[in-house]
Amino acid sequence: MKNLSLILSAVLLVAVGVLFYLHFAGTEPAATTAGTGITGELKVAFINSDSVLKHYDYLEARGKVLEENRKKLEQEYRNRAIGLQNEITSYQRNVSSMTMGQVKAVEEDLGKKQQNLQLYQQSLGQQLDEEQAKLSRELYERITTFLKKYGAEQGYNMVLKFDPSSDVLFAGEALNITDAVTKGLNEEYAAEKAGVKTATDSTATKK
């Protein structure tokens, strides 16, 4: 079964920038960047996805639940494997006193149980993979939704992911909004746990 930390570290939190148009009511159109359709100066920022993963409270809470479920499923598998091993040991201990027909019947039964155990192990692995994939989708949706709102409030046209796997080789520290984004995400999550409707929730409800 895959290690949870490896799966989570591979999650593409903000793989692409969030791009949107800026509209200024009652003012003359500013200079337009050629071929982009964006008016005014292009404002870009970045976040360090590794840092967000490390400090996002939602991920920590969901990760603990996923890890607890993984341990539970693995224990269930071990219990079944131990039960089967006990049956095999009992068969080996008594085989000398069994008839050929009994030997054949027991071996067929043990073979089916071994196959079922292997199928069960595969189903557990698939179940955990699906849960991890679901968490990845949840993280992507939560963070990109927050960035769209945060970008609109702060006037950003694009927010990039900056880590060793990204195509961004250099970015000035003045463009780094990691701490602000992490703080905002955690505040939204805290409000969510407390049952407080956030601006994001209100927008989603209206849709």
Supply the DSSP string of 71-113, one letter for each residue: HHHHHHHHHHHHHHHHHHHHHHHHGGGS-HHHHHHHHHHHHHH
The whole-model pTM stands at 0.67
Cβ neighbours of 127 (radius 10 Å): 14
The SS3 call for residue 48 is coil
Tokens, residue 54:
């490390």
Domains located in the chain, CATH noted: 4-200 (3.30.910.20)
Per-residue pLDDT of the chain (207 residues; tens, 9 = 90+): 444 444 444 433 333 333 233 233 333 344 444 444 555 688 999 999 899 989 999 999 999 999 999 999 999 999 999 999 999 999 999 999 999 999 999 999 999 999 999 999 999 999 999 999 999 999 999 999 999 999 999 999 999 988 888 888 888 899 999 999 999 999 999 999 888 655 445 444 444
Is 179 within 8 Å of 52 (Cβ atoms)? no
Question: What is the rounded distance in angstroms from the CA atom of residue 102 to the CA atom of residue 98?
Answer: 6
Question: What is the rounded distance in angstroms from the CA atom of residue 107 to the CA atom of residue 116?
Answer: 14
Is 73 within 8 Å of 127 (Cβ atoms)? yes
Q: Which amino acid is at 196?
A: V
Between the CA of residue 97 and those of 91, 93, 101, 119, what are the distances in Å? 10, 9, 12, 32
Residue ranges of E strands in 21-178: 44-47, 158-161
